[in-house]
Structures are given as structure tokens and as C-alpha cells.
Amino acid sequence: MVHKINLKYGCNPNQNHANITIDNTLLPFNIINGNPGYINLMDALNSWQLVKELKIATGLPAATSFKHVSPAGAAVGLPLNDILKKIYFVEDLDLSPVACAYARARGADRMSSFGDWIAISDIVDLPTAVLIKRSVSDGIIAPGYTEEALKLLLKKKNGQFNIIEMSWDYIPKSIERKDIYGITFEQQRNNLEITPELLNNPVTDNKTLSDEARIDMLIAMITLKYTQSNSVCFALYGQIIGVGAGQQSRIHCTRLAASKADNWFLRQHPKVLNLKFKEGISSPDKDNAINQFLLDELTDAEMNHWQNLFIEQPTRLSLTEKKEWLSNLKGVTLGSDAFIPFRDNIDRAVQSGVKYVVQAGGSKKDDDVIQACNEYDMTMLFTECRLFHH
């Protein structure tokens, strides 16, 4: 017996006859509310795997913010300090560990998280629902919802918010298939378990690895496992702070992830924390304005638009101020979904506070990359595990 859900269309409105099916068993989720589309469900099922694995690997509540089948951010439920609460716009909330996980996941790259799909590893509680209710999101997948949380989420998007309840116990078939241009591809599902045992092969002179860095490495690797390749991500304090996904060259992955990590840290600069917005400015507009504020170059039109959002016209950060502030970003972990082919990745990464590196290893230039890490007193581990995802 085939169990099937018909969808309004596929990736685009012209792609009709869209559906999802499963053979000889019931679908492992229940659509509580809404009408999730093709891309919504792709995001839901990819993001669910990420948070479930993070929960298993760390024992902490996990969350991710997904866009177009890649995470914009992922995190575990560690407490937030006052600065993170402010830049994530959650100062007024009493956050549970589950809510902390999502606040961190969405806070990594707030521009990219606009209109995200949410995945939560634990029962969604009221503090988490309050946070989600005021964010611009398409839907959520989680193993369950408290009565209070569900009641609030059912009001989101005029009652059209997509809410999915996922079975924690579901185990997919070992073989997965997909069609491309009428041809069926088949492979074993990537059931590689990301565990602390993968972090036992330091290859640099410095072999020091703090407990915090171990958690960040696990978060980085599991995030990369569900990020469109090529991919590199930066992690710190139990969360991803920058993802470079789907780039054709490794250095472009690193540059993109590093630039997002820089932006995340620059948001914590006193000049940004002290920006005074006019009454009624929405969080997405604040995010856009802060992003414009941090750009090195602006057109006159861009300048005029974002300046109109502030009570007082702020003085923008100079390149010197940015460089000085970024020199305080330290202890960052870089994860790569495959081997790092050239040392240019390390030379760029150190500018964004990278101290720890986790990668597959196996490049012809491994010795050059190790030497670069030694020059910067980094700790690098080889896992011998490639994490490509397509």
C-alpha cells in the first residue's frame, strides 16, 4: 500500500502533479495545521534529521533555522548572555532551554533566516512558541507541542502556519532513491553517526581541545551533514555563527561563512547595541538596517532608506573600528564537509577568530594545511569522514 499526500505544486508553480509517498507504512508525521508545500517538506525532513542527531550527540535540546534545504543556523539549548539576548531581540522573554536553542539558531544569520522553516528536537513549550510567533517563518517540525504552545502557534499567519508533529521513533529505509531527468539514482542513506569518538585524531602540534570546542565540533559536523555541498561552517558557544553552503570552491565556502561570522560578532559592537530605532520598527526591518549599517559601502539610496529608521543618525563603524573589534573574536571552530585543499582557507579563517578546525583530511596538500594551522597555533582534527549532501 502506498500512502500519499498531494501537494499544490512542486518547486515552482508550473511543476504540477506534486506529491509525497511512502510504501507499506504510514507517513511518520502528522500535519497538525497548514498546507506545507514541496520545498517546505524537503526542509522539514532535512532539518528534522539535523536536530534529532544534535540531540542524540550532545544530550541538549537542539534547533535549526532552515532555508532552501540548508541551515542558516543550528544550535543547542545553552543559556544566552545579555548581549546575545539583545542582538537576538529576546531581552523581554524568559527563555527555556528549548527556546534558547531556537533563539541561537535563528540568531546566527538573521537575514537568511527570514521566512525560515524551523525544526526543534524537543517538545515545543510556550516560551519557544512566543519567540516563533513573532518571527517571520513558514512552518515548524517537532516531536510535539504543549497545549499552550500549540494554541499560540495556531494563530500565526492568520491560522495558516504550517505545524508538523514528527515521530521520534521513525527509522527510514536504508536505501534512498531520487529521479533526475527521468533516471533513478539509488544509494545507501547516509547513516554515519557523528559521535565524540570521531574527535580523537588531532594532526597539529597543538592538540588541546576544550569541552566547549568538542561540542562546537559536533554541532559543526552534524550541521554540515545536512548542508548543500560544498560547505563550511563556523561554530562558537554551542551554535553555528556562519554557514557557507553550496559553493563550487572551498575557499568561497570559507569566505562566505567567515563573513557571516564577522557580521554576527559585529552586531555585538557597542555602536550597534546602542542603535536607537523609531517606535514600531519590525525585527526584520531592524535586521536589514543593521546589515546596511555594517556594510563597507552604501549607495545614496541605501543610506537614505536605513537612516530613516533611526531616532538619531548613527555614526557608522570605520574599517579600523571593525578590525579592532573583530580581533576580539576568538575560540571559533571551523568545520568543513570534505578535505581542505589549500591553506588559503586557514589564512582566511584565522582572521575570524578560528582556533579549532575539524575536517575529513585526505588532500594532497594536507601537509601545507597542517603547517598553516601550526603557524597560527590552531588545533586541527581529521575525521576521515566526508559529509557531502546533495
Q: Phi first, then psi: what are they for 211, rounded to 5°?
A: -60, -40
Of 83, 81, 82, 86, nearest to 277 by C-alpha is: 86
Buried b (16+ CB within 10 A) or exposed e, 245-268: bbbeebbebbbbbbebbbbbbbbb
Beta strands at 332-336 and 231-236: parallel, antiparallel or unpaired: antiparallel
Rg, the chain, Cα only: 21
Active site residues: 67-68, 230, 390
Determine the Cα–Cα distance for residues 73 and 241; give it in Å rounded to an integer: 7
- 3-state DSSP of 3-54: EEEEECCCCCCCCCCEEEEEECCCCCEEEEECCCCHHHHHHHHHHHHHHHHH
Cα–Cα dist 245/364, whole Å: 23
Question: Cell triple for residue 68?
Answer: 532552501
Torsion angles phi and psi, residue 200, rounded to 5: -110, 15
- Other Cβ atoms within 10 Å of 284 Cβ, number: 15
Cis peptide bond prior to 308, omega within 30° of 0: no
Cα separations in angstroms, 349 against 168, 246, 341 = 37, 18, 14
CA separation for the pair 327, 278 (Å, rounded): 31
For the chain, the straight-line distance linking the first and the last C-alpha, in angstroms and rounded, comes to 29
For residue 5, give the nearest of 36, 39, 47 by alpha carbon.
36
Q: Which three cell numbers stand for residue 385?
A: 569522514
Q: Which residues contact 329 (CB under 8 A, 6 or more apart)?
A: 261, 262, 265, 352, 353
